[in-house]
Amino acid sequence: MSEHNIVVFGGDHCGPEVVAEGIKVLKTVEKYSAKAGKFNLQEHQLGGCSIDTSGTPLTDAALAAAQAADAVLLGAIGGPKWGTGAVRPEQGLLRLRKELSAYGNLRPCFFASDALVDSSPLKASVCRGTDFVIVRELTGGIYFGERKEDDGDGTAWDKEPYSRAEIQRVARLAGFLARGRGDKKVWSLDKANVLATSRLWRRVVTETFADEFPELKVEHQLIDSAAMIMIKNPTALNGVIVTSNLFGDIISDEASVIPGSIGLLPSASLSGIPGQNGKCNGIYEPIHDEREIR
């Protein structure tokens, strides 16, 4: 029987409660499917709970366990208790993503059942049939660039660096996903009319799909326009959407309200394309953070 080592980060607030339900599912699969193998679960702390016990949002031991594991199951981190001070829960998650090279974040938006359509804040006639996946670049861009805090002079800034390699690999992941889904088109969201990084993004995405996925059409869309389309006519975006770290963070939260609640949607952060080029690290979690789900 095959064995799978899974590191479990319950995290903060509702995180442990959510993870507990996921573990029930894993145990049920383990019980009734011999093919699935055995799941060895190892619990560690991440986020605010880790700050409280060790002074850091992610200990070296917890990180090492995650790096050695076959997968990571994560609940939610953060909360008002830890505020925006020098040591924050989110720093642990950013470090985890970076150290696992989990550069591609998959965030689907769909209705698990047609019975849930009426729970959407959008009219059923508008949102029925929505089915897209946002592929968010996760380990580059403004969240990992240089920054300057306000040191009393009244100014602060953040830099958004992107390299060709970072853009190319997430575009490749989006293309692989679209090909597997049978989609004909991939949407790429940027702000190329203003940002230099977006112009590089658009150029590299275009070249990558032309070279590696010629059967797929790339539709470039400005992020603000895409945000309007997502509410006015979400099914127009059906398929795969690829975008940068900051834009993906924001627009995937916007997308989450379409099915009625951010608490209904899953998320996977991957270090590569599963089944290709060795081990693919994966962080699996709900899209929501520690906030109460309404």
**Residues facing residue 73 across a β-bridge:** 8, 284
Give me the half-sphere count of Cα atoms (radius 13 Å) on the Cβ side of residue 247: 24
CA distances from 117 to 46, 127, 226, 229 (A): 35, 7, 22, 18
Contact assessment for residue 248 and residue 136, using Cβ atoms and an 8 Å cutoff? yes
Stated length of the chain = 294
Q: Is 38 a catalytic residue?
A: no
CB neighbours of residue 266 within 10 Å = 12
Given 12, 190, 191, 289, the catalytic residue: 191
CB neighbours of residue 256 within 10 Å = 21
Give 260's DSSP letter. T
Contact assessment for residue 74 and residue 285, using Cβ atoms and an 8 Å cutoff? yes
Q: Is 60 a catalytic residue?
A: no
Given 70, 131, 158, 253, the catalytic residue: 253
Q: Which stretch of DSSP H or E encloses residue 27? A: helix 15-32
Q: Is 224 a catalytic residue?
A: yes
Q: Is 183 a catalytic residue?
A: no
Given 183, 190, 249, 289, the catalytic residue: 249
Q: How many helices (H) and strands (E) does the chain have?
A: 9, 12
CA–CA separation, 18 and 174 (whole Å) = 28
Given 12, 143, 162, 190, the catalytic residue: 143
Given 123, 211, 224, 232, the catalytic residue: 224
**Residues facing residue 3 across a β-bridge:** 38
Q: Is 249 a catalytic residue?
A: yes
Q: Which residues are catalytic?
A: 143, 191, 224, 249, 253
